[in-house]
Amino acid sequence: MPTAYNPRVVAGHGINNLKRLAYFAEVVETGSFTAAAARLGITKAVVSSQVARLEQAFETTLLVRTTRSVRPTEEGRIFYERCARILSEAQAAFDGLAAGDGAPTGLLRLTAPLDYGVAMVVPAIAVFRERFPACTVDLVLSDATLDPVGSDIELAIRVGWLTDSALRARRIGTFGQVLVASPDHGVAPDATPADVAALPFVANGNLGDPLGWTFRSDSGAAQAVRFATTLAISATIGVLQAARDGAGLAILPDFTVADDLASGRLVRLLPGWQLDRGGVHAVMPGTRFRPARVTAFLDILAERERRR
């Protein structure tokens, strides 16, 4: 075991010493500098000089050299046992990275808005876990815009219009926006946006301007209106429930109201008028490499979006 330490020689050379301990371990395992050099793919002179520098750095003789063989000293034997453990752990770490390039593993931590998360992300997670049981998932459902970097999140699903260009983004789908109400709304079938603008309206407080909307008719005509709100709620799921209860008209994403429209719990108003479609984006930290688990999950979610 090293008995002395020369900081002038060792300081700043940690990486070089890691390389030297690998050379030293090869010499011990093969019994010669020549064989070690052949296994490492370098010259005998390089192996010999690097091991000598290791001995010099710690002022300890690690190998006894003869014309016929090379064997470790007692200090060299103890040092080799520790080197072997270090090299084994390093190889396991490299193998783990290599395996990660193929099959997804590890913890996928992601966030999504509450309504989209329940409707689309949670079902996608079920498929993901079935396909990749070596992965675990931590999903944060929140209508707040969480910072992927500051929140230690690998993937953020954003619904609407992106404003942060500093992060990497992948568009995985789009969604429509629908004006809905409870069945007893009393709106005429041929009503226009201007006709309904003064009716009770439930505003989504998460939107930048929840009252101003531009409708486009099937013929291409545009009509901008501003609703008079009677109720504002800062969660889409709350706006949905208020519309179900007859509190007023509401504009909601199609994935949020699909089941209610199919069951008749809500009805769509102004079917001849359309609102702009929004985007569904996957937002990620700007790292160079993306973990396989992130790519695999996004592929599943994108496929479900295409089928929607």
Residue 9 or residue 105, greater confidence? 105
Highest mean pLDDT among 52-56, 176-180, 203-207, 278-282: 176-180
pLDDT digits (tens, 9 = 90+) for 31-53: 889 988 988 889 999 999 999 99
Q: Is 101 exposed, middle or buried (0-12, 13-18, 19+ CB in 10 A)?
A: exposed
C-alpha distances (whole Å) from 215 to each of 171, 179, 307 are 24, 10, 26
pLDDT digits (tens, 9 = 90+) for 90-113: 777 776 666 555 688 899 999 999
The ranges assigned to domains in the chain are: 7-100, 106-175+279-307, 177-275
What architecture does CATH give domain 177-275?
Answer: 3-Layer(aba) Sandwich (3.40)
- Fold match, 106-175+279-307 / 177-275: yes
Fold classified for 7-100: Arc Repressor Mutant, subunit A (1.10.10)
**In the predicted structure, residue 199 carries a pLDDT above the cut 80:** yes
CATH of 106-175+279-307, one of 1.20.120.350, 3.40.190.10, 3.60.21.10, 1.20.1440.230: 3.40.190.10
CB contact set of 115 (below 8 Å; sequence gap of 6+): 236, 237, 240, 253, 255, 256
Dihedrals phi, psi of 98, to nearest 5 degrees:
-65, -40
pLDDT at position 129, please?
97
The runs of H, that is alpha helices, within the chain are 7-10, 14-30, 33-40, 44-58, 74-100, 114-116, 122-131, 193-196, 236-244, 254-263, 292-307
